[in-house]
Structure 1
Amino acid sequence: MHPMEEKTLIQTTRALCALLAATAAPAFAQASSATLYGIVDLGVRHTSGLTPGHAPSANSHTSLHSGVGNTSRWGLRGSEDLGGGTKALFNLEAGINADTGASANSSKFFDRASWLGLQGVWGTLAAGRQTTLLADAVSPVDPLGMRFASFNPNINVAALSQHGLGIQYGSAGSTSGSYRLDNALKYTGHFGAMTVRAMHGFGELAGGSARLSSSGLGLAYARQGFALSGAYQTFKDANARDLDAYLLGAAYQWGSVRWAATAGRSQARTSATARTEQRVLSAGGTWSATPAADLTLAYYKVDRTRTLQAGDGYGRLVAFGEYKLSRRTRLYAEFDATRWRGGYQGAGHKARATGVTLGVLHHF
């Protein structure tokens, strides 16, 4: 080949490669994506009869608190289009204490979510650390709209975020709650107005696959402002003792008001001869007074019965007022009142407790 022809061929080849790279890059950019997101929520909170950690108390406390409006967090989520209507998905999410900068969970960095999944017309199958079906079921029907998660009885008691049993049930990695499970598979399918969910958590303990395992089913229906949501899930402890729980709720958007109510129950075998049963009833509503201002009021009734002990519990009223400064930032004011029953609060603590919070929440 003549040197001049060879040089022309090389230049042409380079030009074609550059053109292919330029046209291919946008296709790849459109086929896959990753998003950084999060919430920073901080408020000044004053309580009487409650500690800053919401435990019963004999005193009053004032503190800077993270997560009253919504839990402070940051995360990464993304997807890749695999073709044929199939996508690969992932989500990594970590809770933070915005008042100190510390991780919300010292033993797990991505404590709120760490999963990888596939999605198609058939639904989504996800594997890793993820919320239980009870948590998924309560989300669309909680009267508070999932606000104040560390104090909300639907999240803590009904959905087992803080079951208070001191035993690990399911692969939660914690003895204080079973709101999320490690080593779990979850299927979610959307069929018109219906959503179907199924979940199994692997205990991964030697000596028996049942120990620390969990299984459940969930159903939800949503159409024209009406939502119905429910789930049943069973958990095993390290001795294969059961914790069985269900949750059912409904919500309805009527003009500028959203009404919601739920009922939840759990029963746990805490020893060979002892059981603990907890029940939660809730009701409330949110009024969108203006496009920028929302007022929410909710009441929760918690009852507990334990083997060879007197029944106890508490009633909790929570009110929120929110004002949207922008799409991402809002101011809020919160008030709560708790009345303990049957000595639930423990000796030496006030029989009634109140709290008030002024805060700001920002989404990014």
Structure 2
Amino acid sequence: MKKSLIALAVVGAFTSSAFAEGSNVQLYGIIDLGVTHFTGLQPSSGTGTVSSTGLDSGGQSSSRIGLKGSEDLGGGLKAIFQAETGFCAAGTNQNGVGTSGYCSGGGFMQRTSIVGLTGGFGTVVAGRMNTPLWNSELAADPFGGGLTGNIDNISNLTFANVKRANQTVAYVSPDLMGFTGTAVYSFAPTSAPVNLAQGGSTTRAWELNGGYSNGPIFASLDYLRVTNFNGTPNSSTGDAAKHWQVTGGYDFGIAKVTGLYQNLKIDSFSGDRTVWMLGATVPVGAGAVLASYGQVKNTLGADTGNDTAKQYAIGYTYSLSKRTNLYTSYAHISNDTNTNLAVGDSSTGNVGVNGQSSSGFALGIRHKF
């Protein structure tokens, strides 16, 4: 009880001045714990495959805690902020994350950390944030980037590590009859160190996103370019990575059907990496059945003819209340000879074995506050 009172006092001290000036601050979070079982994973040494069973933090959504709020500056202008950190509700996950990490985000308050202004002109924010590319992907994925069937298992965004970006400034236009536009520039999107004294070049990124959401329809088109992608600049090409993505969906009432297509090219490699997915969300009682099928073909560097992986997944979520739900899911990935993708959940980064299939099952509970 004393610890609870102390915690409330700390939060109250932090927010009291903000409330006094016409602001509002919200403490929020998610605690997600589930039992997971994965097969077809890469062993730490030797050959073959291994299986893993344990209690994971973040089966459906990464466990997190954050603060967000706004201050009314008058004339329709508001200051906004958000600071969010991941945490390992199970102490550590099966892949070892958690002993000195945060299970998601990469560090303290590194899931999201932004401040900005919003008004009739739109919204301008700066800090560390999700790329619009990832937000669009999550909207198209029936599993929302979580559970064992999530699109991140095969996504180009996971492959190229462009789900979040550091040192980022973003502008989001006002909503115009369902249409919005987003422009993003990152001075150093990754955390890779650069030695300028040795002729290194800082990685930069810029992104354009156009989206439409009105009634049962949503769609988005996205282009992201990351310079100096491999950290060793190529004098002739700059070694840029170029991402294209198209997403869309329609809610028929009895089912919501979604789709996604991604294409990634890197200047210093021939070929490309393409991903597509079809998904469905079907309301059933107090929950919903989730299903998807996706495929990735990676010909970056060379087209060997054995470079495709396929994933199918099915799951079910059941709402106990507006904030608490139960979930279960199953997913399977089949790998060609030269692909090694593995099934994982929202916080478990598993690695597979070339030519070997991988499967995963999850059963858990998620609570939002």
For 2:224, the equivalent position in structure 1 comes to: 233
Cα displacement (A) at 1:357:
1.1
Hey, what's the Cα distance between the residues in 1 that align with 2:287 and 2:104? 33
> Structure 1, unaligned stretches of length 5 or more?
1-24, 164-176
For 2:29, the equivalent position in structure 1 comes to: 38
Cα displacement (A) at 1:334:
0.8
In the TM superposition, what whole-angstrom CA distance separates every residue of 1:44-65 from its partner, at most 9, and x where no partner exists? 1112213699xx9612221111
Cα displacement (A) at 1:87:
0.4
1:300 pairs with one of 294, 297, 302: 294
Hey, what's the Cα distance between the residues in 1 that align with 2:328 and 2:300? 36
> Structure 2, unaligned stretches of length 5 or more?
1-15, 93-97, 342-351
Q: Secondary structure at the match of 1:215?
A: strand
Hey, what's the Cα distance between the residues in 1 that align with 2:251 and 2:353? 43
For 2:367, the equivalent position in structure 1 comes to: 362
For 1:178, the equivalent position in structure 2 comes to: 162
1:288 aligns with 2:283: yes
For 2:8, the equivalent position in structure 1 comes to: none
Q: Larger relative contact order (C-alpha < 8 A, sep ≥ 6)?
A: 2
Contact 1:188 1:196 in 2 (8 A): yes
Hey, what's the Cα distance between the residues in 2 that align with 1:253 and 1:57? 43
For 2:131, the equivalent position in structure 1 comes to: 132
For 1:168, the equivalent position in structure 2 comes to: none
When normalised by structure 1's length, the TM-score is 0.79
Given residue 100 of structure 1, which amino acid in structure 2 is its aligned partner?
A: G
In the TM superposition, what whole-angstrom CA distance separates every residue of 1:274-300 from its partner, at most 9, and x where no partner exists? 34621110001011112x121101111
1:217 aligns with 2:208: yes
For 1:174, the equivalent position in structure 2 comes to: none
1:62 pairs with one of 39, 44, 53: 53
Contact 2:277 2:292 in 1 (8 A): yes
1:337 pairs with one of 318, 321, 332: 332
For 1:13, the equivalent position in structure 2 comes to: none
Hey, what's the Cα distance between the residues in 1 that align with 2:38 and 2:18? 55
For 2:5, the equivalent position in structure 1 comes to: none
1:320 pairs with one of 312, 315, 319: 315
For 2:41, the equivalent position in structure 1 comes to: 50
Cα displacement (A) at 1:97:
2.2
Q: Percent identity?
A: 29
Hey, what's the Cα distance between the residues in 1 that align with 2:364 and 2:227? 39
Hey, what's the Cα distance between the residues in 2 that align with 1:143 and 1:267? 26
Matched length: 319
Hey, what's the Cα distance between the residues in 2 that align with 1:69 and 1:127? 28
Hey, what's the Cα distance between the residues in 1 that align with 2:18 and 2:206? 40
Distance change (3 Å), C-alpha of 1:132 and 1:193: same
Cα displacement (A) at 1:343:
3.2
Hey, what's the Cα distance between the residues in 1 that align with 2:183 and 2:296? 27
When normalised by structure 2's length, the TM-score is 0.78
Hey, what's the Cα distance between the residues in 2 that align with 1:65 and 1:75? 20
Cα displacement (A) at 1:210:
7.1
Cα displacement (A) at 1:84:
0.3
Contact 1:57 1:349 in 2 (8 A): no
1:245 pairs with one of 220, 243, 258: 243
Hey, what's the Cα distance between the residues in 1 that align with 2:38 and 2:246? 31
For 2:114, the equivalent position in structure 1 comes to: 115
Q: Secondary structure at the match of 1:161?
A: helix
